């Protein structure tokens, strides 16, 4: 199976690295960003082609370009798209709906996804939507080395984008803040980073494996009159919960704007 990539930014490159780990797949890379393409070619063993040649050769083609650049790109490729009716198109453009994509591509051949950058190490969370159910197994097969993959209704995909697609940035800010607090109280920077990252990793795994609500897990850590409840109360006073909710709301609003 030949899988092509047009758009080799951070997300496109991360997905390409994950897809390259799937057995039986040959990776094809766009020549637009020569430096990034050459680096990915070295890591994936893929071939570098023009966009036109990519469309002609690829069985599946990922679109990783920015939302406002997608329509003109697809217009330029219109003739070769019409000559390749069996190609499956997987768009990563935030906010660009399946209906909008169907103006340029066969509606039955389009999948809309939103991954996050941890796909590069096989720990990503990718959500996807489509109109043709027959494409679901192939989509999940191609993304099988990227981490977790979950189908959602398209009307929920922008919300999933704000939560999981943008979420790593919020988590990195959280880790950075915990690091700075540790450093401020005498920990070495590397030790503080390790403690903070492993704490979030282990806590997240507890949520996934215990089947308990996060509130219950928090209560199990929080002893009456102890250090943890003092910190929890301070987080509530400083608006920690509201800040996270507001950040996701702002990300959702911007995601929808990008698709207009």
Residue 7 annotated as lining a ligand binding site: yes
DSSP letters of the chain?
-EEEEE--SHHHHHHHHHHTTSTT-EEEEESSSHHHHHHHHHHH--EEE-HHHHHHH-SEEEE-S-GGGHHHHHHHTHHHHHT-TT-EEEE--TT--HHHHTTTS-GGGEEEEE--GGGGGT-EEEEEEES-GGGHHHHHHHTTTSEEEEE--GGGHHHHIIIIISHHHHHHHHHHHHHHHHHHTT--HHHHHHHHHHHHHHHHHHHHHH---HHHHHHHH--TTSHHHHHHHHHHHTTHHHHHHHHHHHHHHHHHHHT-
Residue 6 assigned as binding residue: yes
User: Is 8 within any annotated ligand binding site?
Assistant: yes
114 annotated to bind ligand = no
Is 51 labelled a binding residue? yes
Residue 124 in marked binding region: no
Q: Is 9 annotated as a binding residue?
A: yes
Residue list for the binding site: 6-11, 51
Residue list for the binding site for NADPH: 51
Residue list for the binding site for NADP(+): 6-11
């Amino acid at each position: 199976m030949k899988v092509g990539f047009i758009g080799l930014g951070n997300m496109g490159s991360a997905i390409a690295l994950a897809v390259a780990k799937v057995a039986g797949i040959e990776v094809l890379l766009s020549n637009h960003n020569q430096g990034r393409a050459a680096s990915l070619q070295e890591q994936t063993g893929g071939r570098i082609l023009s966009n036109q040649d990519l469309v002609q050769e690829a069985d599946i083609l990922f679109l990783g370009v920015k939302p406002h650049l997608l329509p003109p790109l697809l217009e330029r490729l219109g003739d070769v798209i019409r000559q390749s009716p069996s190609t499956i198109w997987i768009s990563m453009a935030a906010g660009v709906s399946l209906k909008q994509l169907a103006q340029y591509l066969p509606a039955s051949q389009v999948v809309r996804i939103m991954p996050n950058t941890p796909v590069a190490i096989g720990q990503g969370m990718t959500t996807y939507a489509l109109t043709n159910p027959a494409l679901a197994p192939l989509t999940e097969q191609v993304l099988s080395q990227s981490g977790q993959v979950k189908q959602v209704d398209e009307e929920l995909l922008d919300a999933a984008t704000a939560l999981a697609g943008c979420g790593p940035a919020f988590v990195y800010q959280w880790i950075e803040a915990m690091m700075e607090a540790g450093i401020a109280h005498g920990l070495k920077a590397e030790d503080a980073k390790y403690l903070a990252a492993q704490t979030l990793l282990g806590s997240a795994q507890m949520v996934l494996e215990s089947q308990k609500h996060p509130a219950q897990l928090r209560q199990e850590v929080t002893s009456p009159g102890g250090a943890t409840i003092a910190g929890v109360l301070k987080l509530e006073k400083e608006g920690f919960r509201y800040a996270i909710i507001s950040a996701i709301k702002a990300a959702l609003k911007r995601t929808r704007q990008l698709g207009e």
